[in-house]
Amino acid sequence: MKQKEIYIEPSLNLETQKMAVMYFAVKTVNEVQGFVYSEDEFLKKYKNSYMMNDLRTARFYAIYQVDRCENCRQSYELIINSRSQLSNYIQASHDICNVCLCYQASTENILGYRMK
Ligand SMILES: [Zn+2]
């Protein structure tokens, strides 16, 4: 799973846009993609800034490409709003696309209903 692009609301001021880019900036070391700046570095740089305040309501996210869904085997894109969402996703052992997730949820509903 690799970061494909970063979307940043175009109406944001330039400094806030730069900050959003920094937040999601990635580098690849030994084929493992990681963030360039740690959460600490990020906070240290922007703490108490007006950009940090802008960020509360700013619309920005990273688009990740997942090579294939474990169920239907198609590649798909994933929108990630924060680093914690990304790490939650990575820790949840399987890659399932939204279509399969919906299908799975409805199957579980049916099974749940029948078991009652
Ligand atoms: Zn799928």
Q: Give 19-51 pLDDT, tens digit per residue.
A: 999 999 999 888 888 899 988 998 899 999 998
Domain ranges of the chain: 2-111
Please tell me the distance from the alpha carbon of residue 70 to that of residue 75, in angstroms, as a whole number. 10
Give 96 Cα–ligand 1 centroid separation in angstroms. 5
Please tell me the distance from the alpha carbon of residue 36 to that of residue 28, in angstroms, as a whole number. 9
CA-based nearest residue to 87, from 20, 31, 21, 33: 33
Q: Give 38-85 pLDDT, tens digit per residue.
A: 889 988 999 999 988 888 888 999 999 999 999 999 999 999 998 888
Give 97 Cα–ligand 1 centroid separation in angstroms. 4
Give 85 Cα–ligand 1 centroid separation in angstroms. 20
Give yes or no for a contact between 35 and 66, defined as CB atoms under 8 angstroms apart: no
Give 98 Cα–ligand 1 centroid separation in angstroms. 7
CA 113 to chain centre: 33
Give yes or no for a contact between 36 and 83, defined as CB atoms under 8 angstroms apart: no
Give 104 Cα–ligand 1 centroid separation in angstroms. 10
Give 95 Cα–ligand 1 centroid separation in angstroms. 8
- H or E, element range at 63: strand 60-66
Give 101 Cα–ligand 1 centroid separation in angstroms. 7
Give 59 Cα–ligand 1 centroid separation in angstroms. 27
Predicted TM-score of the model (pTM): 0.77
Q: Write down the number of H helices and E strands in the chain.
A: 5, 5
